[in-house]
């Protein structure tokens, strides 16, 4: 199953990240004082900004705070019906982004959720987005002594906090996991390991799907070799997404080295020359490698069975997206592995239709597939004659 991608994921993700930054600049914040996106007089949801402590992130060698900023979308009925509990969607952002990605940048979750809340048969959900921004711009939602155990933070610490502080339906069948770009990779990576926590997956344009030739990412890794201090790394990441910063993020996530301060990570090059052992570590963390039941990890068969157990699983990608080729590889591999899933290619690039996709596809997908009580405000229910 393991094969080279016709489009290198390192280059593709870097290009996609730059597109994301520009989209965020264009997006801007909602108008001052705006709370909901429904028509005048309609019930309104709200966005809460909270901080969640990650026990799984304590002691990470990068020194990133284990206290993570999180945005929580509460649908209109949350305030109005104090007895009602809600399903939860955990939505993971891409490389270089933060917790406001889907509320103020490439999407308007508040407007989309509020507008859909009044639709007949639509089941409202709480939507949670944690900031995974780290020293190099992203944790890649992986488990590493350098960045911390992000797989456990999402599936355990974050879920436990949300269930403990909000009126949720604290059960697997009422939890969904989704993500875009690097967040899509995170949703796949965590989803294949923690089907005990989540029941439905929606993955948008995931990166890091297929292995690639090392000569593609050598330039980025070689440039990253010049970044040797935390201050340099911090400055590079905060100037905007770049190939060197992403190379360091991948190294921290996939080739950590506690014996190599101050960045505690091994790049796949040394003096510009490829290091086969590190290249192998990177490629072994791609999605297809993790699911390779022939030569992949011993857990690969278990991961495949976990994906087969999902109640609903969807993948989408734009036809002009630089990640299209590897998403097609993923679709073909899942079909060979008999993993039920929906796959869609739509007209668009990496970010230009994300707001529309969340509005028309992602939120309705979870409304349909997550277990929730009947919506008492739905016209379908209100219009029923009284017995």
The phi, psi pair for 178, rounded to 5°, reads -145, 165
Report yes or no on 53 lying in a domain: yes
Is the torsion defined by CA of 73, 75, 81, 86 positive or negative? negative
Rg (CA), the chain: 20
Cβ atoms of 355 and 112 closer than 8 Å = yes
Cβ atoms of 142 and 189 closer than 8 Å = yes
Q: How many domains does the chain have?
A: 1
Name the residue among 79, 75, 57 with its Cα closest to residue 66: 57
Cβ atoms of 168 and 162 closer than 8 Å = yes
What confidence score (pLDDT) does residue 120 get?
A: 87
Report yes or no on 200 lying in a domain: yes
Report yes or no on 269 lying in a domain: no
Name the residue among 257, 251, 256, 253 with its Cα closest to residue 227: 251
| Residue carrying the six token digits 């509005």 | 359
> In 10 A of CB 384, how many CB atoms?
9
Report yes or no on 381 lying in a domain: no
> In 10 A of CB 309, how many CB atoms?
14
What confidence score (pLDDT) does residue 211 get?
A: 87
Report yes or no on 121 lying in a domain: yes
What b/e string do you get for 37-52 counting C-beta neighbours within 10 Å, with b at 16 or more? bbeeeebbbebeebeb
Query: DSSP code of 376?
Result: T
CATH code (residue 189): 3.40.50.1820
Report yes or no on 266 lying in a domain: no
What confidence score (pLDDT) does residue 277 get?
A: 95
Give the containing element (helix H, strand E) for 48. strand 46-53
Is the torsion defined by CA of 95, 137, 247, 147 positive or negative? negative
Cβ atoms of 184 and 204 closer than 8 Å = yes
Q: Can you read off the two tokens belonging to residue 302?
A: 């278990």
* For residue 262, cis peptide bond before it (omega within 30 degrees of 0): yes
User: How confident is the prediction along the chain (387 residues), in pLDDT tens digits per residue?
Assistant: 433 333 344 545 554 544 444 444 344 333 333 344 444 445 799 999 999 999 999 999 999 999 999 999 999 999 988 889 999 999 999 999 999 999 999 999 999 999 999 898 899 999 999 999 999 999 999 999 999 999 999 999 999 999 999 999 999 999 999 999 999 999 999 999 999 999 999 999 999 999 877 777 788 999 999 999 999 999 988 876 578 999 999 999 999 999 999 999 999 999 999 999 999 999 999 999 999 999 999 999 999 999 999 999 999 999 999 999 999 999 999 999 999 999 999 999 999 999 999 999 999 999 999 999 765 555 554 444 434
Name the residue among 228, 217, 186, 23 with its Cα closest to residue 106: 23
User: CA distances (Å), 124 to each of 107, 116, 364, 377, in order?
Assistant: 18, 8, 9, 11
Q: Can you read off the two tokens belonging to residue 265?
A: 């990570």
Burial of residue 25 (CB within 10 Å: 0-12, 13-18, 19+) is exposed
* Secondary structure of residue 79 in the 3-state scheme: helix
Q: Can you read off the two tokens belonging to residue 116?
A: 């859909």
What confidence score (pLDDT) does residue 238 get?
A: 80
Alpha carbons 78 and 354: distance in angstroms, whole number: 25
Q: Which positions ≥6 away from 195 have C-beta within 8 Å?
A: 172, 306, 307, 309, 310
The phi, psi pair for 215, rounded to 5°, reads -65, -15
Report yes or no on 123 lying in a domain: yes
* Structural domain boundaries enclosing 176: 9-29+37-214+298-371
Alpha carbons 358 and 366: distance in angstroms, whole number: 10
Report yes or no on 225 lying in a domain: no
Q: How many residues does the chain have?
A: 387
The phi, psi pair for 213, rounded to 5°, reads -70, 140
The phi, psi pair for 254, rounded to 5°, reads -115, -20
Q: Can you read off the two tokens belonging to residue 124?
A: 């409202």
Alpha carbons 375 and 123: distance in angstroms, whole number: 6
Q: Which positions ≥6 away from 224 have C-beta within 8 Å?
A: 243, 244, 245, 247, 248, 251, 267
Q: Can you read off the two tokens belonging to residue 286?
A: 């791609």
Alpha carbons 198 and 190: distance in angstroms, whole number: 9
Burial of residue 92 (CB within 10 Å: 0-12, 13-18, 19+) is buried
């Amino acid at each position: 199953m393991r094969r080279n991608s016709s489009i290198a994921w390192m280059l593709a993700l870097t290009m996609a990240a730059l597109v994301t930054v520009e989209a965020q600049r264009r997006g801007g914040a909602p108008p001052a004082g705006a709370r909901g996106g429904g028509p005048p007089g309609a019930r309104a949801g709200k966005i809460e900004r909270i901080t969640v402590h990650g026990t799984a992130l304590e002691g990470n060698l990068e020194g990133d705070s284990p206290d993570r900023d999180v945005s929580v979308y509460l649908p209109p009925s949350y305030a109005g019906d104090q007895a009602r509990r809600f399903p939860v969607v955990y939505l993971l952002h891409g490389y270089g982004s933060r917790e406001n990605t889907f509320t103020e940048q490439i999407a308007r979750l508040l407007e989309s959720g509020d507008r859909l809340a009044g639709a007949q048969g639509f089941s409202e959900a709480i939507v949670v987005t944690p900031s995974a921004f780290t020293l190099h711009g992203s944790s890649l939602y992986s488990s590493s002594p350098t960045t911390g155990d992000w797989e456990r933070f999402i599936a355990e610490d974050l879920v436990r906090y949300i269930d403990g502080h909000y009126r949720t339906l604290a059960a697997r069948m009422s939890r969904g996991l989704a993500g875009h770009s690097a967040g899509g990779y995170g949703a796949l990576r965590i989803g294949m390991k923690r089907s005990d926590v989540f029941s439905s997956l929606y993955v948008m344009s995931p990166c890091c799907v297929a292995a690639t030739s090392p000569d593609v990412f050598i330039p980025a890794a070689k440039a990253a070799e010049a970044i040797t201090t935390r201050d340099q790394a911090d400055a590079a990441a905060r100037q905007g997404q770049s190939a060197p910063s992403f190379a360091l993020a991948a190294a921290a996530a996939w080739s950590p080295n506690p014996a190599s301060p101050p960045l505690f990570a091994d790049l796949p090059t040394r003096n510009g020359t490829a290091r086969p052992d590190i290249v192998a570590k990177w490629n072994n963390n791609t999605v297809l490698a993790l699911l390779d039941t022939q030569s992949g990890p011993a857990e690969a068969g278990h991961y495949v069975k976990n994906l087969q157990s999902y109640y609903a699983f969807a993948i989408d990608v734009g036809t002009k997206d630089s990640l299209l080729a590897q998403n097609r590889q993923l679709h073909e591999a899942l079909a060979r592995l008999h993993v039920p899933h929906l796959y869609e290619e739509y007209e668009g690039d990496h970010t230009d239709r994300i707001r529309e996709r969340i509005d028309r596809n992602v939120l309705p997908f979870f409304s349909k597939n997550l277990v929730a009580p009947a919506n008492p405000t739905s016209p379908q229910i209100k219009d029923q004659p009284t017995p």
